[in-house]
Amino acid sequence: MKIFLSGITGSMGHCLLDSLEAETVVAGSAGRNGEVDGIKVYGYFDDVVEDFDVIIDFSNKFVTKDVLEFALKHKKPLVIATTDISEEVVKDIEAASKEIPIVYSHNMSVGVNAIDIILGKLVKMLENYDVEIIEAHHNQKIDSPSGTAKMLFETIKENRQELYPVYDRVDSREKRQKNELGISVIRAGTIAGMHSVIFAGMDELVEIKHTATSKRIFAKGALKAAKFLLTKENGLYDMKDVLNVDN
């Protein structure tokens, strides 16, 4: 499998390069022309001359729309692993998926997506419990809360539609409301990623938690998604499709 890697000079780009097995990255893109580990890096998508099978996007939300146009131009499958993408670009992704196969997920980790599936079942069983989400990442992460925290919240809300997110209780001088779902954020050190969902009931607490000890899990998930796309026609897929999970 020949890969074009968007965001090749970033931390996740380097992580994916380190995670390669039988795959090959033939070229990549970044803010300017250059080279990484002998691989050609382009500052402009129009300059790309290499042939490739699939595109993996680990860039940033301001670049993803250009990556999408690049994929459409070459009619190539696209894995979008970039987070904090605007609603406008999400609509562009949905439209583009009618012409090319796309995997788009807030988190490429197998474990996180397994938790997301379990959550849907837990919410139904623990319907009267208070729910809180806590997420932690390294001190260089820009977006807050994480895309994964948003994904977990949406899964919970699908099953308890009355819940609404509360991000800050500093100025709140009242007791917790029944339908609140608190989302707390930690940014510190080199934490690769931690997400915890707490269900607190009368005299008991249930917690489901995922901890990433390395960014390699996201790179490996993206590679798995890329291989999955090579067998697919046009359409929009997520990691549950990649894992072949009937949710």
List, for residues 167-204, the tens digit of each pLDDT value: 988 888 899 999 999 999 999 999 989 999 999 999 99
One of 3.30.470.20, 1.10.10.60, 3.30.360.10, 3.80.10.10 is the CATH number of 110-212, namely: 3.30.360.10
Average pLDDT over residues 18-32: 89
Which pLDDT value is given to residue 99?
Answer: 96
Return the pLDDT at 245.
61
Contact (CB, 8 A) for 5 and 40: no
Do residues 244 and 227 lie in contact, with contact meaning Cβ atoms separated by under 8 Å? no
Q: How far apart are CA 123 and CA 130, in angstroms?
A: 10
User: Could you confirm whether 175 is annotated as catalytic?
Assistant: no
Catalytic residue among 137, 195, 215, 220: 137
Please tell me which residue in 14, 61, 76, 141 is annotated as part of the active site: 141
Instruction: Taking residues 77-96, report their average pLDDT.
Output: 92
Q: What is the pLDDT of residue 244?
A: 78
CA 53 – CA 3 distance, rounded (Å) = 6
Q: Does residue 137 carry a catalytic annotation? A: yes
pLDDT > 90: what percent of the chain? 75
Cα separation values, 41 from 4, 163, 170, Å: 10, 45, 46
Instruction: Give me the residue spans of the domains in the chain.
Output: 2-104+215-242, 110-212
50-69 pLDDT, tens digit per residue, is: 999 999 999 988 999 999 99
Predicted TM-score (pTM) of this structure: 0.81
Mean pLDDT of the residues in the chain: 92
The confidence band for 132, taking pLDDT boundaries of 50, 70 and 90, is: very high
Q: pLDDT (tens digit, 9 = 90+) per residue, 140-152?
A: 988 899 989 999 9
Fold that domain 2-104+215-242 belongs to in CATH: Rossmann fold (3.40.50)
CA separation for the pair 222, 229 (Å, rounded): 11
Q: What is the pLDDT of residue 131?
A: 97
Band the pLDDT of 240: cuts 50, 70, 90. confident
d(CA 215, CA 193) in angstroms, rounded, equals 8
What is the rounded average pLDDT of the residues 111-135? Answer: 93
**Residue 247 has what pLDDT?**
46
Closest by CA position to 214, among listed 182, 229, 231, 192: 192
